[in-house]
Structure 1
Amino acid sequence: MTIKRLVAAMLLASASNSVLAEESFTVQDIQVEGLQRVALGAALNNLPFNVGDTVTEYSLSRSIRTLYAAGHFDDIKVYRDGNTVIYRLRERPTINAIEFDGNKDIKEEQLNESLAGNRVEVGEPLDKTILKSIENGLTEFYHGVGKYQAEVEIEATYLPRNRVNLKIKFEEGDAASIRQINVVGNQLFSDEELLRDIESKQDLPWWRFLSSDRYQKQTLQGDIEKINSHYLDRGYLRFNIDSSQVSVSPDKESVYVTLNVTEGEKYTISGVKFVGDLIGQDEFIRQILPLKDGELYNGALVTYTEESIAKLLARFGYANSKVRTIPQINDDTNQVELTISVEPGKRVYVRRIAVSGNSNTRDEVLRRELRQMEGAWLSNDALELSKQRIQRLPYIESVEFDTTPVAGVDDLVDIGFNIKEQPSGSFNAGVSYGNYMGLSFQIGVQQENFFGTGNSAGISLNTNKYQKSISATYTDPYFTLDGVSLGGQVFYSDVDYSSASSNLEAYNQRRYGFGANIGYPINEYNRLNFGANYVVNKINSINEYDQLRHFRAVLLDAQNPDGGYNFTNYELSASWVRSTLNRGLFPTAGHYLGLSLKATTPNSDLNYFKTTFEGRNYIPLSNDHAWSFLSKLELGYGNGYGSKNGYDYTLPFTENFYAGGQNIRGFESRIIGPHAIFREAQFVPGLPDPNSGSAPFPSGPENDTYSVSPRSIGGNAMGVLTLELITPTPFLSDDYRNSVRTSLFVDAGNVWDTEFDLNRYASLIQAPRFQGEPALQDYSDAGLIRATAGVSLQWISPMGPLTFSLAKIIKKYEGDLQENFSFNIGTTF
């Protein structure tokens, strides 16, 4: 082919092309050479002209720019052969693989996301011109976190079929430490006071290994804001940080920070006025206004005022309000007049609320917890309360919501709630063996979200060497639309300690019954519950210890002393619950208060009452709630009321409180508190009888002896305090924070018997008959506090909550048995 003319077209400021004639011509044919991956049609679609069009030099230049803009080519040349236009192209290589080597501070997910934003990803054509900017950008990132020795290099390996592998090699190096922070120009506050609360630390000694003096640009910017706030919050309205310099040492291992400041004078508030629309809340806003005439200017209070007014407006649907404070400064009098401008904007309404992410829970179960309604104005308070109520459900792990403006309308939004569910029940089944309980078998199912309805249902079966029990429960938390709950339960148990070893109090109890309960919501945080139970108890073969004398006197049939204790009770209960917890399981903020009272009716065979209190308070210690502090208090007291046959009713031993195991970790279960006292009469020889010999006669009760059981029988009063520091779980990412919890704890408490009289045994002699028998103590003394400390790991597993505890006893008394490691399946908090 003979090429008559060669035209040079402008190619991104410089490209060597043949010179084209200035005159126009009609294109008869377009030829494209060098295509491998890009289809011919795709290349031709990027040209600004077709066959038959008249083109000029400008048209050809424009076609080159258009082809480059498509992003598929590294080199483009255009030629003219008569009326034929010829393009000779060199395609960009396709990225075959991307590899990272040596990166520790930046995760691969972050790197891939950043590269994709620059169209550097597998399958895309490679633009070599941006590789240098990527290297520089990554290097700048490392400089920003104090790694001035860091180097980033992108290595390209070309493969057959015009492919390329990219390997990004990192040499991060060590972060530079802050050797010194200097504040220049401060006279009112010392360097120590200004730098006390900032995150950047300087030249730390070796023993402060838990702190870091690593330099980070972003952290320093936040610290500069803290210093600025330190002055503004104390009235120094003209304070200014004139400049900040960061000097890097020659070895790039240390930095020196210098802040030049101008402190200025203190300013007081001469007046506060409002402009704009306060939507009729003028008086209320003025009452809550923290800014007062004559007081020092306080930047934190100004910000708080703006945020409070904006939140108030948001409660009434003005979600896009603008609140700003305009200071009018008088430097002659050192006073400032504040004008608060309020622009509420349009009231915003909710068009639609969507719920997503719930694969097991029905939509209506979640929607009934919403306090933001469709068609109503948008309220941030209602949205946050809705989120909190859903998140309190025990089968919900997390809840997030987003607000999306409706296109073309400035006063409508759509709300989306994204739900993440977690295991909503527990299943346990197993066989175990222990010295205390022997061979044990258990099976149980507890479902807090029965078939996605939000109802709670459970059935359990337990059997071991000494007891068999079965129970079933069911509760509908929304029996009515306004949140009235209704539930019921049936139960049966058979406990046989009559053949127990000497370490147990021997008796046989058969217990069965049924009951119902109903609950009423008072408001968003408070609830009342009422219940009634019918309970039948049959106790036989009891090993009569001394604390049962009142129980024996009011129940035992004198005509049939071997008939056991048979009694039927009608129980009524009432409870009050207040909860502001942010989650149902593993809360990190808020409090829970629960007070309950159970009492038998006067027509029951036993008249007694039992009251319990539980209080939990969670205080977040970090903004992300990874660290939190829990304080928990459990109190209990029960006793009888009234009398029979001259004997006062007491709390039945089957209703006693116990400690050890789950509530005071580190002690064996049911080991803390009063022990059974077995009192035995002594005998003296009788008179001689020639026919039958002599029969012994019991001596007086003052000569009795007693022995003490090794295990506790519980008491009618209990107090347990728990202090717990909730920490991030080591070696686990934040993704598991809502299903795994680690904590350091201190447990302390006691169980005691308010009716116990130590003087009753003061003149008697203890005659031990049990192995490991402890000495008698004053079981009415509430001050016999036990204490432990340890670490706990809780996991919401597919089978239910699992708790592992490792504890060490701090304070114990004779007879207490320790259990350093424990494992429990059950409710967690």
Structure 2
Amino acid sequence: MKLKQLVVAGLMLSGAFFASAENASEFVVEDIKIEGLQRVALGAALTYLPVNVGDKLNSFRISQLIRSLYDSTHFESIKVLRDGGTLVIQVRERATISRINFEGNKDIKDEQLQQSLEESDIRVGEPLDKTVLTSIENGLKDFYYSIGKYNADVSAIVTPLPRNRVDLKLLFEEGDAADIKQINIVGNEVFSDAELLEQIELRFDTPWWDFLSETRYQKQKLTGDMETLESYYKDRGYLRYSLDSTQVSMTPDKSGIYITLNMDEGEQYTISEVELIGDLLGQEEAISRILPLSEGKMYNLAEVTYTEEFLSKYLGRFGYAFPEVTTIPEINDEDKTVKLTLSVDPGKRIYVRRINFSGNDVTADEVLRREVRQMEGAWLSNTALETSKARMSRLTYMEEVDFETVRLPGEEDKVDVNFKVKEQPSGSFNAGIGYGDRTKLSLQAGIQQDNFLGTGKRLGLNLNTVSYQQSATISYTDPYFTIDGISLGGTLFYSEFDAGNANLVQYNNKSWGLGANFGYPVDEYNRLNFGVTYKYNKISQLQTYDQIRNFYDMFADPNDPDAGIQFNTYEFSAGWSRSTLNRGVFPTAGSSQRATAKITAPFSDVDYFKINFDTKFYFPLSRDQRWSFLARLEAGYGNGYGDLDGNDQILPFWDNFRAGGSDSLRGFENNTVGPRPIYRRPSTITAPDGSQIPLGPNADTITDTTRLRAIGGNAMVLGGVELIVPTPFLDEELDNSVRTSLFVDVGNVWDTEFRVENYDGLAESERNKIADYSDIGRFRASAGLSVQWLSPMGPMIFSFSRILKEEDGDESRFFSFNIGQTF
């Protein structure tokens, strides 16, 4: 390329020399004329000339003049002439690019090609430098060769247009990629070919059914595989391992590749001694106790690298952000040992001048700044920065958070910290009308915002009407009511609930209430919450069944059994939460725990308590955390306390635990898992005179419970495991908004107050209709596939489930769809 340019320049200079041969002697320039200008202004062209009127001009100055004009990149050809004392320069401008087209490219996207051309200053509206096209053609061919397409060809076609314009077309003939026919490994004795081939990405001779395998040769993969093999050996003590040579040969038709790796494994080495030298800031004893490397262990390159990173991070806690940690090995080939000397230079302590934020188009800086634990003016702490990143990442309206430290020019001990964030939808706005088999006509409208107007405050206003419920809720929470992180919030709600249309035993519950809560941060991960709520409930149209008959009789009016019952309750609640999750939505690492308890005040109409505990653990299975394992558990228990008119109080049936559906046991219909009501027809009734009147041969019978709807229970345990996998056919950048997982759900709801022995007096045929709803051994299970999408309208969950264990009367659902909170 450079040689070609020199030849072209030489020819041009020679042409210019011969053109002015008659005027080879020096002369004084009296005037300057430039002919042939079209797009370039005369004034601009004169600025490129190293010659002015009045200067003496000779052949050397002419060569400088021509070179300067070519360097301006505006001209394709230049001639220099003399007309008496006038310097005449005849130019032909480079053609302007009118359009750029790509044809035949599949492996390279148009956007990538456009970016590559712009980096070479080839873009529409700019002059075309044809000398650059050859290098672009060769560069693209090299790319195709690197991915095994040795028959590929790239041609740049320039089509002239009127007014000194051109069309530029890049024509691609990609051809087929060469497949790897065989990979030979020579020199290995410790590990077999099969073991080593299992470690690398390049594949050959894959079975027909493994359609996901790729046998195409790629130079980048080969380079990576060579590094992988080196790490594989050195991580297992083979310190002297070396890859002596690599041969890549192809078949005559360029359709196949043979790869040969020649290696020298060497011997295994153990660590004879680990020595620390340099300035350890007085932390020698502490570092020695927790140092990963130790005497007598097998040499491990990965552990050596980890130790260097560990020391760097440890020193970073004290403000030494750019330490130099170097491992110096002293190899003893006689006894196959190595002494490792860790040389530590902490450098200067670094201080933070300013903390900046970018990418937060909606969220105010102060909302992010209050999560930062690194202070401006203080020395830089890696621990504080990582904690700040984790806290911001756990905000539900942040998709990605990253930071970098930038050294200030001329300041050896000062940096700026730049946080770069990517926001995601922090709530939902919806309004619509729908119809479903179960819900019938539904209307809904609402807004739920976790980052209201970018302030980080949560505001919710929701109106919903479906066949089983009409509700309205207003909620507000300020997570930083005080600068110390004390939160304050409140809720006002109204609801009319028809249990019969929600897969539950029939009753209507009209309720309203209001509450207030505040939270207190204990430390970076733990938080306490307290609240008080007033609720009014009015129950009507209740189908009384055995499990709640005593409770109902305590409050019902015997003279007007259809009047319904009503309650006023005053609830006090307390909760503890802990989170080390790496993100607020779709986490892949860390854990969260939440425990809540509520109890009604003794002056309430009903006295009961309720306890919940929920925990989740995420275990990343790959470095990029696209593969992760989730284990989760949720448990709850509630009951009454005290007695009323000699009867023990129980957990009110409208506050029972329920299970089934997309947010608990997938594969089961909503609210259908758990105890069922028992309806018993008595054998006699009492006559007005006090005598007992028999009801006939069908008396004292039990309604078949498998045909009845669930009633919930006062105890619940739900658990499950999930394998989170990359979503097929979606780019990695969408992992934070779409999640796919394979799951197994297990759990049940029980009634611990149920006594099956109370029905021992029934006939065996009737007794067999009753299950023991207090039996802890009863449970349900399902497995399937779940896809969660954080859509602009809110989180959406799609589940495909198969029932693994069920009970008579359970209702299953292969596919379910839910809009709600993700987990």
The verdict on a shared fold, with TM-score over 0.5 as the criterion, is yes
TM-score (norm 2): 0.92
Answer whether contact 1:404 1:414 (CA < 8 A) is retained.
Answer: yes
Q: Distance in 1 between matches of 2:12 and 2:428?
A: 68
Counterpart of 1:570? 570
- Give the secondary-structure state (helix, strand or coil) at the position aligned to 2:288: helix
Moved more, 606-615 or 428-437: 428-437
Counterpart of 1:822? 816
Map 1:689-708 to 2 at 5 A: 696-697=693-694, 703-708=700-705
Q: Structure 1 residues 174, 626: CA separation in 2 closer, same or farther (over 3 Å shift)?
A: farther
Counterpart of 2:749? 751
Structure 1: gaps spanning 5 or more residues: 1-7, 769-773
Q: Distance in 1 between matches of 2:569 and 2:167?
A: 81
Moved more, 332-341 or 464-473: 464-473
Answer whether contact 1:240 1:263 (CA < 8 A) is retained.
Answer: yes
Counterpart of 1:4? none
Q: Structure 1 residues 826, 409: CA separation in 2 closer, same or farther (over 3 Å shift)?
A: same
Counterpart of 1:295? 297
Q: Structure 1 residues 273, 503: CA separation in 2 closer, same or farther (over 3 Å shift)?
A: closer
Residue by residue over 1:517-575, the C-alpha shift from the partner in whole angstroms, topping out at 9 and shown as x without a partner, is 22111211111212222333333442210011342355456788666444433322222
2:185 paired residue among 178, 183, 203: 183
Q: Structure 1 residues 580, 701: CA separation in 2 closer, same or farther (over 3 Å shift)?
A: farther
Counterpart of 1:359? 361
Counterpart of 2:787? 793
Map 1:580-595 to 2 at 5 A: 580-595=580-595
1:724 paired residue among 714, 722, 739: 722
Answer whether contact 1:473 1:488 (CA < 8 A) is retained.
Answer: yes
Answer whether contact 2:680 2:700 (CA < 8 A) is retained.
Answer: no
Counterpart of 1:673? 674
Q: CA deviation at 1:427?
A: 2.6
Q: Distance in 2 between matches of 1:659 and 1:538?
A: 24
Q: Distance in 2 between matches of 1:607 and 1:236?
A: 71
The amino acid across from 2:581 in the alignment is L
Residue by residue over 1:423-448, the C-alpha shift from the partner in whole angstroms, topping out at 9 and shown as x without a partner, is 22223333444554554433332221
TM-score (norm 1): 0.91
- Give the secondary-structure state (helix, strand or coil) at the position aligned to 2:678: strand
- Give the secondary-structure state (helix, strand or coil) at the position aligned to 2:37: coil
Moved more, 618-627 or 84-93: 618-627
Q: Distance in 1 between matches of 2:224 and 2:702?
A: 75
Moved more, 804-813 or 541-550: 804-813
Map 1:628-667 to 2 at 5 A: 628-662=628-662, 663-667=664-668
Map 1:325-404 to 2 at 5 A: 325-404=327-406
Counterpart of 2:806? 812
Q: CA deviation at 1:577?
A: 1.2
Answer whether contact 2:16 2:80 (CA < 8 A) is retained.
Answer: no
Q: Distance in 2 between matches of 1:496 and 1:87?
A: 93
The amino acid across from 2:580 in the alignment is T
Map 1:764-783 to 2 at 5 A: 764=762, 776-783=770-777
Moved more, 70-79 or 780-789: 780-789
Q: Structure 1 residues 433, 70: CA separation in 2 closer, same or farther (over 3 Å shift)?
A: closer
Q: Distance in 1 between matches of 2:788 and 2:144?
A: 37
Q: Structure 1 residues 739, 196: CA separation in 2 closer, same or farther (over 3 Å shift)?
A: closer
Q: Distance in 2 between matches of 1:33 and 1:790?
A: 78
Q: Structure 1 residues 685, 91: CA separation in 2 closer, same or farther (over 3 Å shift)?
A: closer
Moved more, 412-421 or 703-712: 703-712
Counterpart of 1:319? 321
Answer whether contact 1:706 1:765 (CA < 8 A) is retained.
Answer: no
Q: Distance in 2 between matches of 1:614 and 1:20?
A: 96
Answer whether contact 1:101 1:169 (CA < 8 A) is retained.
Answer: yes
The amino acid across from 1:291 in the alignment is L
The amino acid across from 1:285 in the alignment is I
Moved more, 536-545 or 571-580: 536-545
Answer whether contact 1:9 1:78 (CA < 8 A) is retained.
Answer: no
Counterpart of 2:64? 62
Residue by residue over 1:699-725, the C-alpha shift from the partner in whole angstroms, topping out at 9 and shown as x without a partner, is 899945444352111112222223333
Q: Distance in 2 between matches of 1:660 and 1:327?
A: 61
Counterpart of 1:624? 624
Counterpart of 1:131? 133
Map 1:170-569 to 2 at 5 A: 170-434=172-436, 436-495=438-497, 505-552=505-552, 554-556=554-556, 564-569=564-569
Q: Distance in 2 between matches of 1:212 and 1:10?
A: 50
Q: Distance in 2 between matches of 1:648 and 1:330?
A: 81
Q: Structure 1 residues 375, 20: CA separation in 2 closer, same or farther (over 3 Å shift)?
A: farther
Q: Structure 1 residues 95, 608: CA separation in 2 closer, same or farther (over 3 Å shift)?
A: same
Answer whether contact 2:666 2:801 (CA < 8 A) is retained.
Answer: yes
Q: CA deviation at 1:762?
A: 4.6
Structure 2: gaps spanning 5 or more residues: 1-7
Q: Distance in 2 between matches of 1:118 and 1:619?
A: 45
Q: Distance in 2 between matches of 1:679 and 1:113?
A: 78
The amino acid across from 1:230 in the alignment is Y
Moved more, 694-703 or 384-393: 694-703
Q: Distance in 2 between matches of 1:211 and 1:400?
A: 34
1:48 paired residue among 47, 50, 53: 50
Q: CA deviation at 1:648?
A: 2.8
Q: CA deviation at 1:628?
A: 3.2
Map 1:97-136 to 2 at 5 A: 97-136=99-138
Answer whether contact 1:9 1:60 (CA < 8 A) is retained.
Answer: no
Residue by residue over 1:558-615, the C-alpha shift from the partner in whole angstroms, topping out at 9 and shown as x without a partner, is 7886664444333222222111122212222222211222223444443322222222
Q: Distance in 1 between matches of 2:183 and 2:752?
A: 63
Q: Distance in 2 between matches of 1:394 and 1:504?
A: 33
Q: Distance in 2 between matches of 1:102 and 1:724?
A: 43
Q: Distance in 2 between matches of 1:240 and 1:521?
A: 55
Counterpart of 2:4? none
Q: Structure 1 residues 60, 622: CA separation in 2 closer, same or farther (over 3 Å shift)?
A: same
Q: CA deviation at 1:289?
A: 1.2
Q: CA deviation at 1:674?
A: 0.9
Q: Distance in 1 between matches of 2:64 and 2:203?
A: 57
Q: CA deviation at 1:129?
A: 1.6
1:152 aligns with 2:161: no
Q: Distance in 1 between matches of 2:524 and 2:12?
A: 67
Q: Distance in 1 between matches of 2:375 and 2:503?
A: 61
Moved more, 669-678 or 16-25: 16-25
Answer whether contact 1:550 1:650 (CA < 8 A) is retained.
Answer: no
The amino acid across from 2:305 in the alignment is T
Answer whether contact 2:616 2:630 (CA < 8 A) is retained.
Answer: yes
Q: Structure 1 residues 334, 506: CA separation in 2 closer, same or farther (over 3 Å shift)?
A: closer
Answer whether contact 1:664 1:748 (CA < 8 A) is retained.
Answer: yes
The amino acid across from 1:752 in the alignment is W
Q: Distance in 2 between matches of 1:644 and 1:700?
A: 37
Answer whether contact 1:11 1:65 (CA < 8 A) is retained.
Answer: no
- Give the secondary-structure state (helix, strand or coil) at the position aligned to 1:675: coil
Counterpart of 1:682? 683
Answer whether contact 1:387 1:400 (CA < 8 A) is retained.
Answer: yes
Instruction: Report how many aligned residue pairs link the two structures.
Output: 810
Q: Distance in 1 between matches of 2:9 and 2:375?
A: 64
The amino acid across from 1:718 in the alignment is M
The amino acid across from 1:677 in the alignment is I
Q: CA deviation at 1:55?
A: 1.9
The amino acid across from 1:639 in the alignment is N
Moved more, 481-490 or 742-751: 742-751
Q: Distance in 2 between matches of 1:495 and 1:329?
A: 78
Residue by residue over 1:596-637, the C-alpha shift from the partner in whole angstroms, topping out at 9 and shown as x without a partner, is 222234444433222222222233344433343333222222
Answer whether contact 1:593 1:615 (CA < 8 A) is retained.
Answer: yes
Q: Structure 1 residues 779, 42: CA separation in 2 closer, same or farther (over 3 Å shift)?
A: same
Q: CA deviation at 1:311?
A: 1.1
The amino acid across from 1:716 in the alignment is N
Residue by residue over 1:320-345, the C-alpha shift from the partner in whole angstroms, topping out at 9 and shown as x without a partner, is 22111111222233322222111222
